[in-house]
Amino acid sequence: MTDTEKNTHHKLKSIRKVLNGKAGRRLRQWRDRRTHRLLLVGLFAALAGMAYLAYWQQHASHFVTTNDAYVTGNVVALKAQTSGTVVDVRVDNTQYVHKGDTLVRLDGLAAKVAQEQAEANLAETVRQVETLFSAAETLRQKLAAQEAPLNRSRRDLQRYRNAAHDGAVSAQQIEDTEFTVRQLAAEVRKTHAELDGAEAMIRGVALEHNPKVRQAASALKQAYLNRVRQGIVAPVSGYIAKRGIQPGEQVYPDTPLLAIVPLDYLWIEANFLEDDLTEVQPGQPVEISVDLYGSQQVYHGEVLGLGAGTGSVFGLLPPDNATGNYIHITERVPVRISLDADELKTHPLRPGLSAVARIDTRKPGRSVLQPFTASPPDSYHTEVYDTQLDGAEALIDKIVQNNRFSVRY
């Protein structure tokens, strides 16, 4: 046996002694404990997997969730309706205003001048039309005056012709009378034509309904309306946002002034992947959490309807997959979700806030072709502009009556 083999033999004997001794027993115990722990961990993992699988099959598989969701509401963009210089701005951002409140006021001087000019134009038009009525009446009287000698000459001519057989009337007298009849008849026809032309301007309507008078009255209404609209009012109640107007600025029709945001009617716009919407139907309950309040505050709503197309269809550049290389992409479809009004009062929200929406598809809804979305009462209606012409008709009637001939004389 060589020296190397002897050394190896002694080392093996030393290892056997260690393993058969106290240290060996500790090593075997550690290995047994490790194996036991691994078995426990594996068993726990298997049980947890089975429990999650059961939970998913019985509960989680019936929910679809997305964090691509936002609070949405109406933003009423208020614009100028007429020209003028801003002299008074009565509101600022975050301020609450009521429907009908005056928010911005223009100087109104140019509108006042334009209204005065329209009033003068209406008065002049009334007098011109009254002149047409007078001219027509003058022609009627002239026609009556011309028809009287014509009728007399015709009767004379008939008598002369009857007396001519007895030689009582000369042929020259008959010829002169025939000439007179023809001359008077021509003058009557001329006056008839003039009367028809005059009556064409006034026929069938009273003075206040004459087309020229109505046209001048419409111009006055427009000037009156432009003057009233120098005070810009709130069409709805809500909070002021994006106020970008300052005193001294010149504005024109459609100049953006500010925005009004009603916060009492909001909803969620949730964009779900198209393969998550297989079981989603209008009427199914939804749980919503908003980042503003965290996951502890849960809002409750229901699916109102599904968008009529994906976002890409309504984009600035709609897809045209037939023009080049095609890449299959799972699209998102917007889903409109209601919010409970009482919960909104307790925990107010703002448009644009990020949210997480989870739809419970276990409850049956109705066809996606029958959405629950509807316009709420008074949310898309305003009557603040209906009364802006109040007083215009009375002003027009006053001008018409003051410029009639019967009043002037």
DSSP letter string over 8-49? HHHHHHHHHHHHHSHHHHHHHHHHHHHHHHHHHHHHHHHHHH
Asked whether the predicted pLDDT for residue 144 surpasses 90, the reply is no
- Give the residue, 149 or 284, on which the prediction is more confident: 284
Query: Which pLDDT band, with edges at 50, 70 and 90, does 406 fall under?
Result: low
- Give the residue, 342 or 159, on which the prediction is more confident: 342
As to burial, measured by CB atoms within 10 angstroms (0-12 exposed, 13-18 middle, 19+ buried), residue 408 is: exposed
* DSSP class per residue in 212-275: HHHHHHHHHHHHHHHHHTTEEE-SS-EEEE-----TT-EE-TT-EEEEEE-SSSEEEEEEEEGG
Q: Which of 81-85, 130-134, 345-349, 394-398 has the lowest mean pLDDT?
A: 130-134
Mean pLDDT comparison of 175-184, 271-280, 322-331, highest-scoring range: 271-280
Spatial contact of 230 and 86, defined as CB atoms under 8 Å apart:
no
Q: 61-70 burial, b for 16+ CB within 10 Å, e for fewer?
A: eebbebeebb
Q: Which residue type does 303 have?
A: V
**Kind and range of the H or E element at 372?**
none
Per-residue confidence (pLDDT) for residue 4, from 0 to 100 = 67
- Give the residue, 78 or 319, on which the prediction is more confident: 78
Mean pLDDT comparison of 172-181, 184-193, 266-275, highest-scoring range: 266-275
Per-residue confidence (pLDDT) for residue 311, from 0 to 100 = 79
Phi, psi of 105 (to 5 degrees): -125, 135
- Across the chain, mean pLDDT equals 83
> What angle (nearest 5°) sits at the alpha carbon of residue 271, between those of residues 268 and 275?
135
Tokens of 308: 């009529």
Per-residue confidence (pLDDT) for residue 194, from 0 to 100 = 67
- Give the residue, 148 or 240, on which the prediction is more confident: 240
**Kind and range of the H or E element at 379?**
none
Per-residue confidence (pLDDT) for residue 55, from 0 to 100 = 60
Per-residue confidence (pLDDT) for residue 153, from 0 to 100 = 72
pTM over 0.85: no
Spatial contact of 229 and 82, defined as CB atoms under 8 Å apart:
yes
Query: Which pLDDT band, with edges at 50, 70 and 90, does 9 fall under?
Result: low
Tokens of 185: 């008849």
Query: Which pLDDT band, with edges at 50, 70 and 90, does 1 fall under?
Result: low
Asked whether the predicted pLDDT for residue 71 surpasses 90, the reply is yes
Asked whether the predicted pLDDT for residue 234 surpasses 90, the reply is yes
Query: Which pLDDT band, with edges at 50, 70 and 90, does 105 fall under?
Result: very high
pLDDT in tens, 108-125: 888 999 999 999 999 998
- Give the residue, 58 or 40, on which the prediction is more confident: 40
Indicate if the alpha-carbon torsion angle 317, 318, 324, 329 is positive or negative.
Answer: positive
pLDDT in tens, 188-219: 777 777 666 666 667 767 777 788 888 999 99
Asked whether the predicted pLDDT for residue 267 surpasses 60, the reply is yes
Long-range contacts of 152-161 (CB under 8 A, 24+ apart): 153/177, 153/180, 153/181, 153/184, 154/181, 157/181
Q: Distance between CA atoms of 399 and 117, rounded to whole angstroms?
A: 13
Spatial contact of 303 and 366, defined as CB atoms under 8 Å apart:
no
CA 329, distance to chain mean position in Å, is 34
Asked whether the predicted pLDDT for residue 23 surpasses 70, the reply is no
Per-residue confidence (pLDDT) for residue 28, from 0 to 100 = 65
Mean per-residue pLDDT, 275-294: 92
pLDDT in tens, 317-342: 777 777 767 778 888 999 999 999 89
Q: Which of 50-54, 78-82, 267-271 has the lowest mean pLDDT?
A: 50-54
Side by side, which strands form the sheet with 96-97?
76-79, 256-261, 238-241, 96-97
Phi, psi of 3 (to 5 degrees): -65, -40
